[in-house]
Amino acid sequence: MSVSPITCHILDTAIGKPAANVTCSLYYMAPEIDNPVNESAYELGSGTLFAMAKTDADGRIKNWVYDPQLSSENQAKIGLKQNQHTDLKPGVYKIKFLTGKYFAQLADNSRSFFPFVEIYFKIDNPPDHHYHIHFTFFSKFGITEYITRGKLNGNVLGFIIF
């Protein structure tokens, strides 16, 4: 099986290890934002949940489990064909990390200030071949993320510290 065009990697810096078994959801939020200076263009609604997965032992998601009940219209809008992400479509996407659940399941039953973290990102037209969300510097009370794009060693698109 080939790697999904959207992947992620999570590191738990509080323990210095990858964050394994973090439940993540992938949403298609909207087509491209036509008028970026119009604030109402950023009211995206709840989006369409189209894939879920858990991070592996290395804190990575390389492939997603796509919703088999997704309508053919939504599959085409997102670029899915026969339960595979074959054609990455431009638009606004969101990845949701269930951080509260992850920390609650640790041996010390840790609490987290963030019950979940949502990262919105834009896939350009034409899209690059691969988008990778690095959710790093992650602990119970602080997060940082950045996104790369491209075939290999892509450009850093954003760097956010909370």
Domains of the chain: 6-161 (2.60.40.180)
Q: The whole model's pTM is what? A: 0.82
Q: What is the pLDDT of residues 22-80, one digit of tens each?
A: 999 999 998 877 788 888 878 888 899 999 999 999 999 999 999 999 999 999 999 99
Beta strands in 16-154 (DSSP E): 17-18, 23-30, 48-54, 60-61, 65-66, 80-81, 84-85, 91-97, 117-123, 131-139, 142-149
Query: What are the pLDDT digits (tens) for 112-137?
Result: 777 888 988 888 876 677 787 877 65
> What is the DSSP pairing of strand 60-61 with strand 48-54?
unpaired
For the chain, the C-alpha Rg in angstroms (whole number) is 16
Alpha-helical (H) ranges within 7-148 are 72-78, 99-104
